[in-house]
Structure 1
Amino acid sequence: MRVLMMSTPVPTHFAPLVPLAWGLRAAGAEVLVTAQPDVMPMVRTAGLVGAPVGEKLDGDKHLLSFLTEGRRPLECFTRFPPEEMGFYGRVWMDQARTNIHAYLELARQWQPQLIVADQVEYASLLIGGVLGIPVIHHRWGVDPISDLALHEARTELADLAEELGLDGLPTPAQTLDPCPPSLQLPTTSPGTPIRHIPFNGYGEPPAWRTRTHPRRVVVTLGTRTLQLNGVPHVRRVLKACAQVPDTEIIATVTSQYWEELGPMPSHVRLVPPTPLHLFIDTCDAMVHHSGSSTMLTAATAGLPQLALPQWSDQFALGEQLQKSGAGLTLDDTTRQDDPTLIHNSVQQLLDQPRFRTAAEKLGQEITTMPTPAETAEHLLHKL
């Protein structure tokens, strides 16, 4: 079977699909990934075959233009109420409109029998409708967006669907959900469980895997946090975490920002972005930006987490994590800018066993979910 995988032009939107792509290939399928050029480096990193379509979006550059006076997204963007989260699908509706004909040309040439796409890739639904083949959507994790956005897309893209000879925007044949059911929002439509398998890029076990202190915390706030005026925020977080006694801090930071961050205490180790699964087993807690893949990677390892969301679905993720008992979230500027509160939050995660107990329970729940390999077999033979 030929499977066309599609992604909106954000590499982290494609990352959750990578283990399923491997499973499909192992089950005998031909897999071709198509997306705008933004995603192609990750496609190559994953050892997959990619066909770029359209122009690079460079979403971070676009976002940066909306930020003022060196402020980060949390300081500039309005936090939408739950019923308005469909707004975050609009940019991907525009991208679908821009690229649909190029995608259709590629699909007609390659003739896939199945399409798998991320949760807001709407061109995939149009192509599936035109070619008469099923389309599977794959969520990123905690999902306050896709149901509402799909409802809006049916109106927004109605004219394009009609132009393509369709009665309307088709519905996904199935939605795969890597979020543990107990963590997912109760308002999100049920999906088909698929186990999160961490994919954080390639590398080798780092030389610093061996711990130098009784406890270790990893701080991984994502490259986008730094790019979007986040250096002062990251500096503040690292120095607050450094105040936790008897604890080594591992901070994944692109090397271009090390000098700007300034000197750090000796027990704060700045390291280049390193696949988390190569060292997460040596850690006791994680501090992160509330990104889906990062959170699920920590959950898979049974680690307590502190979430510092900046925008979009990150707030809902942090709230669900805190409700589960497996972590804490600081979700506004005032609290994120308070070093004492950050320090105390990390201290709680390390000192109070209830967080570790809840985190391990979440990790055990993830192990009960079907693997991407099992899901691939189902899609190829039973769909």
Structure 2
Amino acid sequence: MRILIAVAPLTAHLYPSIPLAWALQSAGHDVRVASNTGLVEQITAAGLTAVGLGERTSPPAPITDTELDRFSDALGFEAGSDFDQLWRATRYYLVAAYRRYHPDEEGRQELADNLVEAARNWQPDLVIWDPACPVGAVAARVCGAASARMMWGPDYFGWIRRRLVERINDPASAVSADTDPLAATLAPVFGRFGYDFSEDLLFGDFTVDPLPSQLPGPEGLRRVPMRWVPYTGAAPVPQWLSEPPSRPRVCLSLGVTGRTVHDGPDARVTAAFEAVATMDVEVVATVDAGQLGEDVRIPDNVRMFDYVPLTQVMPTCSAIIHHGGFGTFFAAAAHRVPQMIVMEELGSALSSTRYLTARGAGVALPSEGLTAAQVGDELSRLLTEPSFQRGARAVYADLTAAPGPGEIVPVLERMAAQYRARD
């Protein structure tokens, strides 16, 4: 069977799909992974065949407040409610994910065109696509392949759609099919290839979901549960990491993707460094120069690295401080490490934080107004209170309850045969 995996140009979206790609490849299937040229090196470094899609010919038009307000009005969440908070935390990213594949003013869209052309030429039997790469559904459609989404976090995309459908079907709502903001946003992506917006294109035939059942997705979708197997890149193990730490080791990681979002020093780094400077711990900080302020002093008990695979560091750690991304979250969870999430307004940290604290596996602090005293106090709790170890074991049990990537390969084989449109 030929399987094409299409991902948006972010490592946080690529890495969760790699263990599944390995499993499919090891079962004898022909697997290719398609994304922007910038990810080709990382795909091939993982031992997979890459399909470089180039880069978009021009940036998408800026997302306006009017466009976001149109979504907000259509969703109609009560101000201050849990759903309203979640929407505000994810709205810009979700709309931007769809807008990334809009054609430019001259009607060109290199990424979308190249992906569809690659599928048309190679004729895969199954296309597995990142929901932030909606043109993957088009690639499946044009060659008659089965179409599957591959999640890398909670199904915010499905959650928004279900809410909009509820509102469209509610006679008391002002939202209608004609004023559906999601359909309007995706119309240029689908319409470029001759397709109208539809639920089938939006969701594919089924969804591969690597999140524990304690983080449920919207109801009514075909889901294939899969264990999240952490992959965080590959590198030689440094000698110092081969030796057991002489005192509690703490990892500080704010994510690779975040470096492209934040412009300038990160106050969370400053607060963390000030906090650990007087503590009897060893800190491994995967932080680059751009995240440091000019006057930040690096404590003697901190090892600084631009990048170290978290899967190498986590087995030796007693705690981790991070931004709340699910790749980092599950890398720690796989080794039963208590966690501190310093969450931001944007991104998936709101969901990961709620799950973390509900299971008692860690603590959460807001990034705004963060102080060294707060970080120090909460880190001391993580390292000394047994309840956090029990919570970390509970998250680990949640994580490992689902079948591994190799175990779902026969399921994907059957579903691909069921849904593909050609012999």
Query: Which of the five TM-score ranges fits, normalised by the shorter chain?
Result: 0.7 to 0.9
By how many angstroms is 1:259 displaced? 9.2
TM-score (norm 2): 0.77
1:94 aligns with 2:99: yes
Aligned residue in 1 for 2:388 = 355
Aligned pairs for 1:132-147 (under 5 A) are: 132-147=144-159
Cα distance between partner residues in 1 of 2:194 and 2:58: 32
Change (3 A) 1:122 1:186: closer
Contact 1:141 1:296 in 2 (8 A): no
- 1:248 equivalent among 273, 276, 282: 282
Asked which structure has the greater CA Rg, the reply is: 2
- 1:127 equivalent among 133, 136, 139: 139
Deviation digits for residues 178-226 of structure 1 (CA, Å, limit 9, x no counterpart): 22122x1576777432111111111122212224433111111123445
Aligned residue in 1 for 2:185 = 156
Q: Is the partner of 2:321 in helix, strand or coil? A: strand
Cα distance between partner residues in 2 of 1:213 and 1:187: 46
By how many angstroms is 1:345 displaced? 0.9
Aligned pairs for 1:200-349 (under 5 A) are: 200-209=232-241, 210-226=243-259, 228=262, 229-244=264-279, 246-254=280-288, 260=294, 262-310=296-344, 311-334=346-369, 337-349=370-382
Aligned residue in 2 for 1:69 = none
Structure 1 residue identity aligned to 2:150: H
Structure 2 residue identity aligned to 1:349: L
Deviation digits for residues 62-88 of structure 1 (CA, Å, limit 9, x no counterpart): 99xxxxxxxxxxxxxxx9633454543
By how many angstroms is 1:36 displaced? 1.6
Cα distance between partner residues in 1 of 2:398 and 2:351: 20
Identical columns (%): 25
Cα distance between partner residues in 2 of 1:329 and 1:142: 19
By how many angstroms is 1:149 displaced? 6.0
Cα distance between partner residues in 1 of 2:319 and 2:219: 28
Contact 1:86 1:147 in 2 (8 A): no
Extract unaligned runs of 5+ from structure 1: 64-78
Cα distance between partner residues in 2 of 1:12 and 1:44: 16
Which has the larger displacement, 349-358 or 325-334? 325-334
Structure 1 residue identity aligned to 2:86: P
Which has the larger displacement, 353-362 or 214-223? 214-223
By how many angstroms is 1:382 displaced? 4.5
Aligned residue in 1 for 2:32 = 32
Cα distance between partner residues in 2 of 1:187 and 1:365: 19
Cα distance between partner residues in 2 of 1:331 and 1:259: 20
Aligned pairs for 1:190-205 (under 5 A) are: 191-205=223-237
Cα distance between partner residues in 2 of 1:212 and 1:87: 41
Cα distance between partner residues in 2 of 1:186 and 1:331: 25
Cα distance between partner residues in 2 of 1:8 and 1:271: 26
Structure 2 residue identity aligned to 1:82: L
Aligned residue in 1 for 2:13 = 13
Structure 1 residue identity aligned to 2:316: T
1:108 aligns with 2:108: no
Which has the larger displacement, 82-91 or 323-332? 82-91
Structure 2 residue identity aligned to 1:323: A
Cα distance between partner residues in 2 of 1:51 and 1:110: 11
Contact 2:273 2:299 in 1 (8 A): no
By how many angstroms is 1:257 displaced? 6.4
Deviation digits for residues 326-347 of structure 1 (CA, Å, limit 9, x no counterpart): 111112402xx21101111111
By how many angstroms is 1:280 displaced? 1.3
Cα distance between partner residues in 1 of 2:295 and 2:33: 37
Contact 1:119 1:146 in 2 (8 A): no
Deviation digits for residues 7-29 of structure 1 (CA, Å, limit 9, x no counterpart): 11212111100101101100111
Deviation digits for residues 126-179 of structure 1 (CA, Å, limit 9, x no counterpart): 222232222111111344444316865444223653553445332321112222
Aligned residue in 1 for 2:168 = none
Which has the larger displacement, 106-115 or 151-160? 151-160
Contact 2:265 2:293 in 1 (8 A): no
Extract unaligned runs of 5+ from structure 2: 64-82, 103-108, 165-180, 417-423
